[in-house]
Chain A
């Protein structure tokens, strides 16, 4: 696990694709979100969204293989708190994933598909940048009101 602090409020963390590192990711993000001025409630939302993004990468992009990098780049400026999460795993087509009608989804006892729904519900903006064979990036943004 590597952590780096750069100029202009840019902070970085690289972990291996192991679920045992999720707590480090949460500590890193919650510390920075709190420092930026978010309320405890908003800090919890941002932290959960980033956990969901990393969990999806471990499960789907890396298919639970545990020795691949996940790179988090946190950029906090003006009122914008942006976390870019990059992996080099299987490319992902965000358009192919239709967000479920959650009421219908849970009534049919489906157990998956909650992660993306949570990310979209918890953050102000979720963007994907996919460069097949190079890297996948998801950018989560929350604005400080």
Chain B
């Protein structure tokens, strides 16, 4: 039984990753594979919906750091939404809000991509 799950949804031109459960050193490789797969297929606009993410450790945060530079080089980005206070606190402790855009709702993150593309 896995305590972490990822659902990928296509919201053209954005791909939404819905994370569920516990993201730690054990489950981070699963997220890494998902990012590798998306990037390989040329998808660089990524919204990570954290609505059902109960827990994150630095191993999980390291995955975002590993891919953000790649997607930005291709004019894409990794943006976050629907983060609980508990998960946000970990992001905040490490200064991640300086580097990533975090939105209350998924739709706002998607619109930010859409607006950037229509410019």
Contacts and interface: CB of A to CB of B under 8 A. Distances in A.
B22 A114 contact: no
Majority SS at the chain B contact face? helix
Contacts of B94: 102, 106, 114, 117-118
Given A55-B58, A118-B58, A118-B93, A109 B86 contact: no
Contacts of B3: 23
Given A106-B99, A107-B98, A55 B57 contact: yes
Contacts of B62: 111-112, 114
A122 interface: yes
Interface stretch (B39-47, B64-72, B111-119): B64-72
Interface in B1-56: 3, 22, 24-26, 55
Given A55-B58, A118-B94, A19 B25 contact: yes
A115 interface: yes
Contacts of A48: 55, 57, 90
Contacts of B95: 102-103, 106
A56 B95 CA distance: 21
A22 interface: yes
- Bin the interface of chain A by size: 20 to 34
Given A103-B98, A106-B95, A55 B24 contact: yes
B5 to A, nearest CB: 14
Interface string A14-30: 00000110110010000
Interface string A100-128: 00110011011110110110011000000
Interface of A: 19-20, 22-23, 26, 41, 44, 48, 51-52, 55, 58-59, 102-103, 106-107, 109-112, 114-115, 117-118, 121-122
